[in-house]
Structures are given as structure tokens and as C-alpha cells.
């Protein structure tokens, strides 16, 4: 939809002037609107109007008005405010607060786009806000003092709004009250997104608040693992999965997941609701206890900072340079936002809305005591740093099996209260005032840090890495993936890089049979490997490619910082030993290849197969991803760095000598047979003119100032 087709300035609906169409869905359409009063009073709201062809459908009208009635009685910092319900001619409508922000799906998508992670403490803060809003709704009573028994039934990432001032708002009670009306099932009317339903919801059983608790459990599972929990080819598959299978423990997909947090998640996701948390508050109490015991508290200010980092400054629609100005809509006078920074338009008579908070709760008796030291937990949490690369997969699959269209106004999702698309934007595009990214596309920014590098091991595999010593590294950007065959070919096709070699040249490749065996692994000779890392390139070829991209090779120190993470982990993924699901190294498949090829290696890093005899497509091992969202820092190919080899200060003089002019390659490869080679400290000193089959590279860059 073009900007002009969205502009509806001047159309009146009762006392509201429609300004701009935000979205159209299966039941309703959304507008940015303005209401005026005496003495020049004006207020910007979001107006939701039932679609014209449904005006005479009593069932849809009843559902529509149910949503408005339920939401209008809910006034809580974590729930969007509904102001007014009305009818103008044949049009039914209601109005609600305009919130300046993005839905959680949009936040996750943006984090993936900019290569930014979402810290676990912020994810927990968001879930706690959802708990607070839902518990308030669940506790509501009518004028007769009887419980209203509100069940939201559609708690999902599209119905959680994050405002730019760090607020967490629950949206869309469109099916909450309708849950009590059995005649509401109509073709095209969904009662909740399949992948966020509870088992009893999937079985069409009577619901209570524990159904929403299950949905919170899904949100908690997904936000702390950055994976989709219940996904399938269609709704029936997803619903059958939810109704008949226990939830996968988070630690099964993310080794190192904190056991106390896993216990909370799995209790929320109990298939039998009798074993679930009885209320959203009970779940929040255990989460708060976990947060408090392990020092993971955060605030709306921190969340606001994340939103600013992700989206940059975004003008309010009615501000100079905002969307209405771009669309040619003039407001005279321009209304002042009543809540600076949030863009939320409040009635002047309403009390101020406090910062998002779930209050202070006492620790649950079920919570285990805090550890004597928090170091092991934080080491584990480092492995859980919500990686942007993982966020990509999560956002892509987040609607799988639901068949949900973006901007569906029958389930308002982001469109209900988010900022409208920018002028000239595509119909599906979101309004993003994108700041200049500090890193080039495809790179991840790593902050300046202090760390210990090298090793004190006496194992010969780490002889070039001793001793361990402290070092300081400045902020830098690093490719999330190794440079691929297709990317390198683009450089050679332009005449800026020499083509990758088709033979493997390194010191150990002695004899014709051995040389032919290793050369067969050069990816330039193979078909269908465009997304595999380029290999069989010299240091100079790697350096030339990075310069062609306006970047450079990473220093040794930068590479080791990326592989160690910010917590000094043993391996890029954490402290657990190398395993076939974590890296492409030498497993049983590699050992079999060596034996068939009659070349020297007769050992493997692990006894099982990792599924790849040669290289694998970059990013194939999500379980081996670093907490910063960087893939293949151990395994696939070793990587050239910018540095010439030099012994570390204090290294023993044991007669080991590197070749003259040697460059340093870092990391394990698909032919690495020792676990020590997967450690971040592992160094190889190779002549720069070598082009081995198991060495490739990735590029680095200096961050741009904001």
C-alpha cells in the first residue's frame, strides 16, 4: 500500500477525524485519528473500525464490541488503554492509546537485521511485564463483584508491545471475552495463534487463566533460547504437538541453560494445567526470585536504551518530519505528546502512568538456594546471550503454522499501536528510522574488553599458545560467518582477487596421493557449495578480499576475543566438550575418509559423525554459535588472521620455531582431530603463501562512530 493510499485525512467518524490507515485485517481496519474539543483541544488516538462488509454480521459485531468492552475496563501500565466505544452511521469503532514503539516480533526482527543480541535480563524483564498485565486482567471483577474470568487466549510476540521509553504493553483482547461465547466459531475467525495455544485450548476444552500461563511459558522459552518452541507445517500439526508432547527442555537446545530457570519454564509449560503455575503472579514470583538471587535485575530505562540502539531516534507521527508530515497531512495546531518519549496519548484527566514494573515479590519456596558463587551461572548465561543470528531463525519461524498475515487488524499485532510505515514504504514494511549502523552488513559489533588469552597447557597442541596472559582489545566488528565461495568468487569475477586455488598446498601434503586427496576438498573444484566457506586461499588472497570489501582481516586478539566471548569460556559455545552437533570437525565420517584415502590421520575429535566429510554451509551448527551470534569459530575451516606469528612474551624457549614470515591461522577445522584445537587459544603458524584445504577466513572492521 502506498503512502497516498494510506492517507485518509479529512474523513470523519463521529467526533474523530481519520488521518492515516495503519492496517486492514480480516475483521477490522486501523487508523491514526484525531479528536478535537473546546479551546483547541486535540488528541491523537488509534481508531479500530469494523470492516464495511461485516457491519450486518451480528456475530462479528458482538466479537468486536466484546473486545472493546473487555479492554476498556482494563487500566494497567502493562495493558494498552481503550478510551471510547462508538457507532457512527453503520460503522462500529473504538479508540485506544497510540503507543510509540514496536511489537516484540518487530523488535526481534530488527535485532536480527542489525546483528544485535537481546540480553537475557531484558528478556526476563519483558516476560515479567506480560505477567503483571495478565494477572491484573485475570483478577478483574464486574460491578456485581463477581469475577469476569478474563482469559486473553492470544498471548504471543505480535501482541506484546515495547515502547521507546521501555514500556511493556499487552495488546489485543479481541478474543478474550468472546472465549465465553460458544457461537463465536466462524470460518476465518481464529481464537489464538496455533503456536501459542495451550493444550486445553487445542482440544477446545473450557479455559481458565492457566491457559494464558502456558502461553507466557512459551514466550519465556522462546525469548531465552531464541528458537521457536512449537512449529510445524500447518496449524493441525502444531496443535497436535502442543496437545500431545511435553515441551522440550531449554537445555536440550541450549547447553548451559540455568537449571533454576529451566524449572520455572517447564512448570509454566506443564501439559496438565493442574501441574502448572496457578496464576501469572505465581510465575512472576519465581522469575523475580531468580532475577534477584542472580543479580539480573534491569529497568525500563535499560529496555529503552536497547530500543534506541535498535531503532534510533524515530519522530512521532505528528512531529516535524514525522509520517503525517511526509504524507502531506497537516495538523493545526500540532498536538504535544502527553508523555514525552513514549508517544502515548493520554487523556489529560488520567493520572500519570508509572514505569513498567512488576513490583517486588518474595522468593518462592520452590526456588533452589542461590549458588555460593555466581560465576558458573554467569558462564552459563554467557552461552545464552541472545544471539542475533539465532534471532534470525526465530523471527523467520515465529509465525510458522499460524498462517497469520502481517498487519492483520482482526488480531492487531504490531499495527494496532506501532508507528506507521514511512512515506513511500512498501505495504509490508515497517516505519524504521534506521540509524547508521556501526558495523557493515553481515558483521557483529563486539565491545572493547579485557580478557586472558593464550593457554598454560603443556599439551603439544597448544605449544604456540603459551603462556596465558591478560590483554586489552578495542571495539571491533566481525563477520558473523566465514567468507563463502560465492562471496569470494564475486571478488575474483571483478578482477580484484585472484581465484581460489584448486589444489591444497601445505607442509603436511607430501606425496602425490596425499596431495590429490586433500586437493579434492578445495571448494573451487566442487559443485553446489556456494554457501560453504572458501578455502585453498593464501593469506594475501584473504587480505585482498577483505580490503575489496572495505574491511580487513581480524587481529589474533580480536579473533580470540570473539571465540572466548566476554566470559572466558573454554569453547565458543561454552564449557561443554566438543560434540557433533556443535562443530564440523573430524568425527567418524572424517576418520573413514582418511582411511579410504590412505592418508595419515587415525584419530577423531569425537566418536560420532557430524554429518560432513568436507566443509559445511556456513552457520550449519547453531549449537556452536558464540553468545555474540558468530558462527563456526570452531570447526568448518581454520581462519587466517592479520598477524605475523610471534611467540607470546614469556613463552619458553623450547626450540619450537615457526617458518620465516609465517602468518597465524586460528580455530579448528573440519579435519581437526583434537578437542584442544577447538579451544580459542589454538594457534597455527603457516607460511603466507600456503593455501590449505582446511583454512579460510572472515573479515573484520572498525566500528563507525554513531
- Just list the catalytic residues: 154
- Looking at the chain, the number of H-run helices and the number of E-run strands are 19, 18
> Is residue 610 within 8 Å of residue 583, measured between CB atoms?
yes
Q: Got the DSSP string for 563-625?
A: HHGGGT-SBTTBSSPP-TTT-----HHHHHHHHHHT-S----SSSS--S-SS---TT--GGG-
Largest Cα–Cα distance in the chain? 93
What is the Cα 419 distance to its own chain's centre?
21
The percent of the chain in helix, strand and coil, each rounded to the nearest 5, is: 35, 15, 50
Please state, in angstroms and rounded to a whole number, the distance separating the CA atoms of residues 442 and 477: 10
What region, left, alpha or beta, does residue 389 occupy, with left being phi > 0 and alpha being psi -120 to 50 degrees?
A: alpha
* Beta strands per DSSP E along 101-219: 101-103, 160-163, 168-170
* Residue 494 three-state SS: coil
Question: Concatenated DSSP letters for 380-398?
Answer: HHHHTSB-HHHHHHHHHHT
Backbone angles phi, psi at 666, to 5 degrees: -120, 150
Partners of 96 in the beta sheet? 46, 82
Q: Phi then psi for 369, rounded to 5 degrees?
A: -65, 155
DSSP 438: S
Amino acid at each position: 500500500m502506498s503512502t497516498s493510499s494510506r492517507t485518509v485525512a479529512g474523513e470523519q467518524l463521529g467526533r474523530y477525524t481519520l488521518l492515516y490507515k495503519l492496517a486492514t485485517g480480516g475483521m477490522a481496519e486501523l487508523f491514526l485519528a484525531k479528536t478535537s474539543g473546546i479551546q483547541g483541544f486535540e488528541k491523537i488516538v488509534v481508531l479500530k473500525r469494523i470492516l464495511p462488509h461485516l457491519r450486518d454480521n451480528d456475530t462479528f459485531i458482538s466479537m468486536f464490541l466484546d473486545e472493546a468492552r473487555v479492554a476498556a475496563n482494563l487500566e494497567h501500565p502493562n495493558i494498552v488503554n481503550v478510551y471510547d466505544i462508538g457507532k457512527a452511521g453503520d460503522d462500529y469503532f473504538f479508540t485506544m492509546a497510540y503507543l510509540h514503539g514496536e511489537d516484540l516480533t518487530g523488535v526481534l526482527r530488527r535485532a536480527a537485521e542489525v546483528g544485535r543480541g537481546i540480553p537475557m535480563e531484558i528478556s526476563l524483564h519483558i516476560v515479567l511485564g506480560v505477567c503483571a498485565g495478565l494477572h491484573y486482567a485475570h483478577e478483574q471483577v464486574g460491578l456485581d463483584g463477581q469475577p469476569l474470568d478474563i482469559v486473553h487466549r492470544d498471548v504471543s510476540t505480535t501482541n506484546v508491545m515495547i515502547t521507546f521509553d521501555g514500556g511493556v504493553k499487552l495488546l489485543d483482547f479481541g478474543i478474550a471475552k468472546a472465549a465465553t461465547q460458544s457461537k463465536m466459531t466462524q470460518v476465518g475467525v481464529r481464537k489464538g495463534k496455533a503456536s501459542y495455544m495451550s493444550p486445553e485450548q487445542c482440544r477446545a476444552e473450557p479455559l481458565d487463566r492457566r491457559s494464558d500461563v502456558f502461553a507466557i511459558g512459551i514466550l519465556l522459552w522462546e525469548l531465552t533460547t531464541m528458537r521457536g518452541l512449537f512449529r510445524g507445517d500447518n496449524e493441525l500439526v502444531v496443535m497436535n504437538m502442543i496437545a500431545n508432547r511435553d515441551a522440550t527442555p531449554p537445555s536440550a537446545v541450549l547447553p548451559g541453560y540455568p537449571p533454576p530457570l529451566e524449572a520455572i519454564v517447564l512448570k509454566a509449560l506443564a501439559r496438565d494445567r493442574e501441574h502448572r503455575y496457578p496464576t501469572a503472579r505465581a510465575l512472576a514470583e519465581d522469575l523475580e526470585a531468580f532475577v534477584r538471587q542472580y543479580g539480573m535485575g534491569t529497568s525500563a530505562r535499560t529496555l529503552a536504551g536497547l530500543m534506541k540502539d535498535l531503532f534510533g531516534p524515530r519522530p512521532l507521527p505528528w512531529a516535524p518530519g514525522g509520517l503525517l508530515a511526509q504524507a502531506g497531512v497537516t495538523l493545526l495546531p500540532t498536538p504535544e505528546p502527553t508523555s514525552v518519549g513514549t508517544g502515548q496519548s493520554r487523556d489529560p484527566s488520567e493520572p500519570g502512568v508509572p514505569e513498567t514494573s512488576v513490583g517486588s515479590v518474595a522468593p518462592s519456596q520452590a526456588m533452589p538456594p542461590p549458588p555460593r558463587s555466581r560465576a558458573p551461572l554467569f558462564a552459563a548465561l554467557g552461552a545464552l546471550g541472545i544471539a542475533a543470528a539465532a534471532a534470525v531463525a526465530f523471527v523467520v519461524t515465529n509465525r510458522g503454522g499460524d498462517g497469520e498475515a502481517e498487519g492483520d487488524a482482526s488480531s492487531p499485532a504490531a499495527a494496532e499501536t506501532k508507528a506507521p510505515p514511512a512515506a513511500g514504504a512498501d505495504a509490508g514494511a515497517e516505519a524504521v528510522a534506521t540509524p547508521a549502523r556501526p558495523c557493515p552488513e553481515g558483521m557483529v559489533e563486539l565491545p572493547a574488553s579485557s580478557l586472558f588469552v593464550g593457554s598454560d597447557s603443556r599439551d603439544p597442541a597448544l605449544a604456540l599458545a603459551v603462556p596465558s596472559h591478560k590483554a586489552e582489545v578495542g571495539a571491533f566488528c566481525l563477520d558473523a560467518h566465514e567468507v563463502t565461495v560465492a562471496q569470494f568468487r564475486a571478488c575474483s569475477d571483478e578482477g580484484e582477487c585472484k581465484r581460489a586455488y584448486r589444489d591444497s598446498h601445505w607442509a603436511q601434503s607430501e606425496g602425490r596421493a596425499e596431495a590429490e586427496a586433500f586437493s579434492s576438498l578445495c571448494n573451487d573444484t566442487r559443485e553446489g557449495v556456494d554457501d560453504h566457506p572458501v578455502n585453498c586461499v593464501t593469506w594475501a588472497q584473504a587480505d585482498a578480499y577483505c580490503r575489496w570489501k572495505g574491511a580487513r582481516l581480524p587481529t589474533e586478539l580480536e579473533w580470540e576475543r570473539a571465540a572466548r566471548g566476554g566470559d572466558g569460556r573454554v569453547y565458543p559455545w561454552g564449557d561443554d566438550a566438543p560434540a557433533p552437533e556443535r562443530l564440523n570437525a573430524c568425527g567418524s565420517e572424517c576418520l573413514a575418509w582418511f582411511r579410504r584415502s590412505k592418508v595419515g590421520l587415525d584419530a577423531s575429535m569425537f566418536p560420532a559423525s557430524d554429518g560432513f566429510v568436507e566443509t559445511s554451509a556456513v552457520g550449519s551448527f547453531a549449537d556452536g554459535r558464540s553468545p555474540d551470534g558468530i558462527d563456526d569459530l570452531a570447526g568448518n575451516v581454520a581462519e587466517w588472521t592479520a598477524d605475523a606469528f610471534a611467540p607470546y612474551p614469556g613463552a619458553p624457549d623450547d626450540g619450537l620455531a615457526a617458518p620465516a614470515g609465517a602468518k597465524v591461522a586460528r580455530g579448528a577445522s573440519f579435519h581437526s582431530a583434537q578437542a584442544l584445537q577447538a579451544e580459542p587459544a589454538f594457534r597455527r603458524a603457516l607460511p603466507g603463501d600456503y593455501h590449505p584445504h582446511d583454512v579460510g577466513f572472515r573479515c573484520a572492521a572498525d566500528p563507525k562512530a554513531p
